[in-house]
Structure 1
Amino acid sequence: MRVFLSIVFILFLSSLQLAQAQGGFDLWVLDTQGKGGKLKILTETAKPLTNRPEYDNQPNFINDAELVFSAADDKGNHDIILYSFRTGNFTNLSRTADRSEFSPTLTDCGQYVSAVVMEPDSTQRLWLYPINLEAPELLYDDIAPVGYYDWYDNKAAMFILGEPNRLVYARGKGDLLEIDTHIGRSVKRRPKTSQISYLSMKSPKETLAGLELPIRSYDIENGKAHIFGFGLAGSLDFIWLDHNYLLMAQGNGIYRKRVNQSEWEFLGKITSDTHQNITRMAYSPDLDKLVIVMQRK
């Protein structure tokens, strides 16, 4: 049975990655009301924030009014784009013809937008882009290939591609804390804690709807591991609404779960004739806005 589950899981991941590689992705935005366990999503307000055949993906809020994301041009090169909800304007934070930037977010210190950069020789490392638009800086010259990451205490917890992939935390130069292996692409710090949370590809749960991945975390400060139940079947992305609540999507539906509960609560479904399959999300409690990524049909 264990071998069978492993084969099914590999096929599941392969088909999901193939589906996500086809077609373009756009950002959509919708209004919300309430916070945490009282959050309501106003699905009737959902509308495209971007609308292009290319790739617009990996959104993250960097303050109470601005969002960064990775966007591809018609040649397939990816840059960091900033969108302001105050002005409605899009601005390039990077414009690099010889490299591509992915997964932009704000660093703990607030002075940089970080990004995974695919360099001219295809090496993937973590770089820092000063918010004052000065020249970018390479952060960890000896850590590659980086896939995804998040921050704690001005240091990065990183998904390192390999066989198997690894989750590591850079405590210092040449000092990597090995957290886990065989993890998914979502690496998220739990708000107001020293916990790095992620989806584990070990011991998935087989259900009628498909395979569900465990949501695990590791506490950088005390070394304790936690499990927050299972994610939704077929989903590889989650975000934290706050310290206690997780948000995840399945198809065009959006769901919430409290960390100490097992069931996901359905919050609403996005109806669209042009887009489907919500993946990554970004939430601003200050703006009462939820930004989602949807695939073009």
Structure 2
Amino acid sequence: MTVAQGGFDLLVMDTEGKGKKLKLLPETAKTLTDRPEYDNQPNFINDSELVFSAADEKGNHDIILYSFRTGNFSNLSKTADRSEFSPTLTDCKQYISAVVMEPDSTQRLWLYPINLGEPELLYDDIAPVGYYDWYDNKAAMFVLGEPNKLVYARGKGNILQIDDHIGRSVKRRPKTSQIGYLSMKSPKETLAGLELPIRTFDIESGKSEVLGFGLAGSLDFIWLDQNYLIMAQGNGIYRKKTTDSEWEFLGKIESSTHQNITRMAYSPDLNKLVVTMQRK
């Protein structure tokens, strides 16, 4: 993970319907965060709360919790000697996990108890971790290197290597044992940029699948549900069924202050989509 310099904010918009009937209401889009520093990597952890990584004025990143119920922000971590990135809820729902850049710049996966107890290091021997997601209380992790690798920690010293030359999005397909990711191998070259293959790997069966290509130039996707993905390109948001080859345009955020949607988080419970955009 490279620490992205420059300002990123979270914006939120309302949605209607689910899955293939999802409609975006871009006219409802408004800033959730609005400051020069980095606010990024949003993830919903339940039906009313969101976590994200936020930098302070010194460039140190902490985990922030936002409640849609109260409208309040609170710190889940406040660590002056290390930075937390990519926070999300663990399968057991007792912890917020995060990639931590430790004081010596080692990047490993840590667990931060929801009850604000002492954080604990999860895999002491796996570094540098960039991104990850959970299946069966174990992490599938993007490990930086030449090349980047996607690995799954079955147990201590039992690391399954899934693939290499992968992109930064690692997202478990809902209600399955499949890890979804973008592959840097065999991209499709277009005038608009590279379209990366969307792949899944089934942890249980070992079976690999390709679900078509992502949008040109896009490195981030999320699952709406088991059958539908969304991605963004510029300020536009698109949906694709896993079995379709074409992306369908869902809407665009018109903004004089922000551009280029990257990471997204969706809550079907709240009917809200949160997106990260760059400050102009």
TM-score, normalising length: structure 1? 0.93
2:108 is equivalent to residue 125 of structure 1: yes
Which residue does the alignment assign to 1:71?
54
Which residue does the alignment assign to 2:201?
218
Which residue does the alignment assign to 2:74?
91
Give the structure with the higher percent helix: 1
2:181 is equivalent to residue 198 of structure 1: yes
- Amino acid across the alignment from 1:174: G
**Aligned equivalents of 2:270, 2:13: Cα separation in 1:** 11
2:29 is equivalent to residue 46 of structure 1: yes
- Tell me the CA shift for residue 48 of structure 1: 0.2
Alignment of structure 1 residues 213-252 onto 2, 5 Å? 213-252=196-235
Question: Is the Cα–Cα contact under 8 Å of residues 5 and 38 in structure 2 kept in the other structure?
Answer: no
**Aligned equivalents of 1:34, 1:288: Cα separation in 2:** 8
Identity rate, percent = 84
**Aligned equivalents of 2:175, 2:5: Cα separation in 1:** 37
Q: Deviations over 1:65-91 (max 9, x none)?
A: 000000000000000000000000000
Which residue does the alignment assign to 1:272?
255
**Aligned equivalents of 1:131, 1:259: Cα separation in 2:** 34
- Amino acid across the alignment from 2:173: R
Q: Deviations over 1:239-263 (max 9, x none)?
A: 0000000000000000000000000
2:156 is equivalent to residue 167 of structure 1: no
Match of 2:39 among 56, 62, 86: 56
Q: Which runs of 5+ in 1 are unaligned?
A: 1-16
**Aligned equivalents of 1:201, 1:76: Cα separation in 2:** 30
2:163 is equivalent to residue 180 of structure 1: yes
Q: Deviations over 1:272-294 (max 9, x none)?
A: 00000000000000000000000
Which residue does the alignment assign to 1:189?
172
**Aligned equivalents of 1:91, 1:235: Cα separation in 2:** 31
**Aligned equivalents of 2:69, 2:94: Cα separation in 1:** 20
- Tell me the CA shift for residue 24 of structure 1: 0.5
Which residue does the alignment assign to 2:268?
285
- Amino acid across the alignment from 1:209: A
Which residue does the alignment assign to 1:111?
94
- Amino acid across the alignment from 1:87: T
Which residue does the alignment assign to 2:7?
24
- Amino acid across the alignment from 2:245: S
Which residue does the alignment assign to 2:83?
100
**RMSD across aligned positions (CA):** 1.1
**Aligned equivalents of 2:157, 2:254: Cα separation in 1:** 49
**Aligned equivalents of 2:209, 2:175: Cα separation in 1:** 16
**Aligned equivalents of 1:210, 1:173: Cα separation in 2:** 40
Query: Which stretches of structure 1, 4 residues or longer, exceed 6 Å deviation after superposition?
Result: none
Which residue does the alignment assign to 2:119?
136
Give 3-state SS (helix, strand or coil) of 2:151's partner: strand
Give 3-state SS (helix, strand or coil) of 2:20's partner: helix
**Aligned equivalents of 1:264, 1:188: Cα separation in 2:** 19
- Amino acid across the alignment from 1:231: G
**Aligned equivalents of 1:245, 1:222: Cα separation in 2:** 22
- Amino acid across the alignment from 1:123: T
- Amino acid across the alignment from 1:295: Q
- Tell me the CA shift for residue 22 of structure 1: 4.8
Q: Which runs of 5+ in 2 are unaligned?
A: none
**Aligned equivalents of 1:22, 1:99: Cα separation in 2:** 17
Give 3-state SS (helix, strand or coil) of 1:101's partner: strand
Give 3-state SS (helix, strand or coil) of 1:199's partner: strand
Which residue does the alignment assign to 1:260?
243
How many residue pairs were aligned?
280
TM-score, normalising length: structure 2? 0.99
